[in-house]
Amino acid sequence: MTYAGDVSPEQTWEALRSRPDAVLVDVRTRAELTFVGRPDLAELGRPLVAVEWTRFPGGDRNPHFVAELEQLGVRRDQPVYFLCRSGVRSVAAADEATAAGWDEAYNILDGFEGGVDDAGRRTLAGWKVAGLPWRQD
């Protein structure tokens, strides 16, 4: 592991609540954000930063990932928590950010929806299952 570490959705929420410089970056596609839902940080008075790790619909890697983080004001000196659907793309994003100079790049375990249960549904873990605030467009 080259990034700062793996944290649970609950640990992420607590960090966002207690550290004013912490930022949540959702690396899912725009389609996922629109149709599946997104974390709602309104009660914390801060925005969700969204930068696609891969592009929809082709799944191509976003070659401008780091540049887009910078354009959206994500600084290298602040703790950054990366979120995807199940905690796979967010590992890659945390690795990339670390390689680009971020000191505190974290992966959020189980992502927004977690893995699938025996019925093929995402009901086991993740941001939504933890009962953390989220919304759907």
Lowest mean pLDDT among 21-25, 57-61, 94-98, 102-106: 57-61
Q: With pLDDT > 70 as the criterion, what percentage of the chain qualifies?
A: 99
Distance in angstroms (rounded) separating the CA atoms of residues 18 and 21: 9
Write down the pLDDT at residue 137: 82
Q: How is residue 42 annotated by DSSP? A: G
CB-based contact 109:9 (threshold 8 Å): yes
Mean pLDDT value across residues 23-29: 98
pLDDT at 54 exceeding the cut of 80: yes
Which fold, 5-135?
A: Oxidized Rhodanese; domain 1 (3.40.250)
Domain boundaries, the chain: 5-135
Its pTM stands at 0.96
Quick one: residue 107, left, alpha or beta (phi over 0 = left, psi -120 to 50 = alpha)?
Answer: beta
pLDDT at 1 exceeding the cut of 80: no
Looking at every residue in the chain, the average pLDDT score rounds to: 96
